[in-house]
Structure 1
Amino acid sequence: MLGISYWIVPIFSAVVWTAMLITMLVYWAATGRPHYVSMSEGQHIPYISDIGADVLKPMFIAMSAITVVTFDLAFIFERWLRHAGRLTPNTSVWQKVYSTLATIAAVVGAAGLILLSIFDAKRHNKLHNIFLGVFILGYIVSAIFICLEYQRLGIHYRQHSVLRISFWIKLFFIIAEIFLAIAFGVTSKKHIYNVAAILEWIVSFIFCFYVLSYFVDFLPALRTKNHQSKQTEMQLLEEGGRTNMGDGAAESQQYYRGNAATAAPYANGATNGYTNGTNGYTNGNGYSNGHTNGYTNGNVSHNNNGYPMPAEPAPLASRNF
């Protein structure tokens, strides 16, 4: 799972949802703004469900299902990335409980949207309204639990501004959706259908931005992946450089004459830089014994360690005369 570009999931979900809404509006305007069968008398602005219950119903079902299924995958991926350490890990059991409850509520909300698109407002009006409530309530509850998790994470990881940004975005969604949902219910109950329809479209577009906000949550995982890849690349280059060293090069340190006997051995056959010859020692660079320690006089005597011996005193003159 680590090779997946997780940040694409919420973006794809938001794009599909937005494309569906815009297509519906454009289709309704392009066909002369018809008054659908499911619309009430005096209603001039259709609900999303009014357009989705007509010719565009197959698209409404398909794109709604794609939106919520991919969006729910974002909850699963977020849970996995925190477990794998690619996102800031949870610091308590309650944070994991909040995350799990948020995922369950999101699945319930997804089921509500899929079912309301199937049981349309024209043929199954009562079931349609029930599933509409399940859809809205499910994702509001999910956002509440996500906010609780992020609020606790933000306390332990104050250095991560992403958590604060995501928390405030989701909190805005909760507050806006609750007020708009209440206004939608009140205007629908009082048969102010045009205002209620406008509120429904606003709620739907806000939901799009809520889905898109999960892209922000995956940004730390993207940076972590890039950092790990760069670190791995540098490590491989370093190890490769050590492997390709030539003979006579130490594996982990430069050789200096006089190192301890435990230093890395050499591959050129020399022991501690000395040869077995009688003319002294070489300079360690692979030169032959033609030169002895920089001395040009080949008759200079040397001791067993290769150092030059002091010259013998000149013999005294003979007294036999």
Structure 2
Amino acid sequence: MIKIGSFNSPNVRPRWAFILPLLSVAAWWGMLIAMIVCWVAQGRPNYEQEHIYMAHLIVYLSNVGATNLQGLFIAGTATMGVFFVWSVIEETYLRSRRKRYLLPRFRRTATALHVACIILTFLASLSIFFVSCFKDTEYDTVHLTFVGIFIVLDLFWAICNISLYFIYARHYTHFKWFKWSAWLKVVWLIVGIGLAVGYVACMRVASIHGDASRLWGVSAVFEWALCFWFGVIMFLFSVDLGLRSKADSDYQTDSGSDWDKENNIQTPPQGTVHY
């Protein structure tokens, strides 16, 4: 069991923690691909008949999710969310003073950012789950509201996670992955923001130009691209959890390190990774 304070949750062996984000993206991408395949297999029905340039060419994810495939939509978002939240909790646990399997967190700022990541991930996962539960054909306003909440929460989660890794990169200068991870996530975030802006902007402009606007189809392309792009972060997160030196010598400090002094640790506990 993962034990953080009075909180307990299921656990996996530390060396297999990197699989959790991969299971999350597998569920997410698997759902997206399955929905596209099913839409094509059903003859590419046009759910937006008033948008003539979308006919048989592209479809909104939400429109497919509002059909008889809603069960798949719900299952995919729920599974993705569970493993996403579990991954974030797992990292916090593996960097705890009790476990110290990964380079340990330090100072209140790092701990606060870890907690913020857990809360934001949980709320974001809950939001996308509600997106799948409320059909846009029946609850359009609620559906779009939760889509917006999901995007905003993921934005703040990414900012917290990137900030955390820049802090680690500054403290653990010998472990270069922290800096690489932070900058790669910055790139991921910038591209994601660009896709989200393109999606919203095209919809807004298309609504002004009317149902015959080609931008409705363009906005749908942005939507699918954004959905698939979201899954890319899981691969970086998998490396975060799995990239660990095989030799203690890679962590060239001892019990006299600043972290140990701050936490009054005189002798590293048995099995500790020396960093």
Name the TM-score class by shorter chain.
0.7 to 0.9
**Per-residue deviation, residues 98-122 of structure 1 (Å, max 9, x unmatched):** 1111221111111110001000111
Would you say the 8 A contact 1:86–1:220 is kept in 2?
no
Pairing 1:215–2:228 present: no
Separation in 2, partners of 1:155, 1:161: 10
Q: Which runs of 5+ in 2 are unaligned?
A: 1-10, 207-214, 251-269
Separation in 1, partners of 2:221, 2:32: 13
How many residue pairs were aligned? Answer: 227
Equivalent residue letter for 1:147: I
In structure 2, the partner of 1:6 is 17
Equivalent residue letter for 1:18: W
Equivalent residue letter for 2:181: S
Would you say the 8 A contact 1:102–1:146 is kept in 2?
yes
Separation in 1, partners of 2:146, 2:233: 20
Deviation at 1:224, TM superposition (A): 7.3
In 2 relative to 1, CA 163–126 (structure 1 residues): closer, same or farther, beyond 3 Å?
A: same
Q: Larger relative CO (CA 8 A, sep 6+): 1 or 2?
A: 2
Would you say the 8 A contact 1:13–1:71 is kept in 2?
yes
Q: Identity over the aligned pairs, expressed in percent? A: 27
Q: Which runs of 5+ in 1 are unaligned?
A: 233-321
Within-5 A mapping of 1:1-321: 1=11, 3-4=13-14, 5-36=16-47, 40-42=50-52, 43-44=54-55, 45-83=58-96, 84-191=99-206, 192-221=215-244, 223=246
Deviation at 1:90, TM superposition (A): 1.8
Normalising to structure 1: TM-score of the pair? 0.67
Separation in 1, partners of 2:78, 2:12: 25
Equivalent residue letter for 1:77: E
Would you say the 8 A contact 2:51–2:216 is kept in 1?
no
Separation in 2, partners of 1:206, 1:60: 17
Deviation at 1:190, TM superposition (A): 1.5
Would you say the 8 A contact 1:162–1:216 is kept in 2?
no
In 2 relative to 1, CA 28–54 (structure 1 residues): closer, same or farther, beyond 3 Å?
A: same
Separation in 2, partners of 1:79, 1:224: 22
Deviation at 1:49, TM superposition (A): 0.8
Equivalent residue letter for 2:29: T
Separation in 1, partners of 2:103, 2:119: 21
Would you say the 8 A contact 1:81–1:221 is kept in 2?
no
In 2 relative to 1, CA 123–54 (structure 1 residues): closer, same or farther, beyond 3 Å?
A: same
**Per-residue deviation, residues 144-177 of structure 1 (Å, max 9, x unmatched):** 0000000010001111122122212211221111
Where 2:243 maps in the other structure, the secondary structure is helix
Question: Which 4+ residue blocks in structure 1 deviate beyond 6 angstroms?
Answer: none
Would you say the 8 A contact 2:17–2:242 is kept in 1?
no
Equivalent residue letter for 1:41: H
- Indicate the structure (1 or 2) with the bigger Cα radius of gyration: 1
Where 1:208 maps in the other structure, the secondary structure is helix
Deviation at 1:40, TM superposition (A): 4.6
Where 1:32 maps in the other structure, the secondary structure is coil
Deviation at 1:222, TM superposition (A): 7.9
Separation in 2, partners of 1:154, 1:75: 19
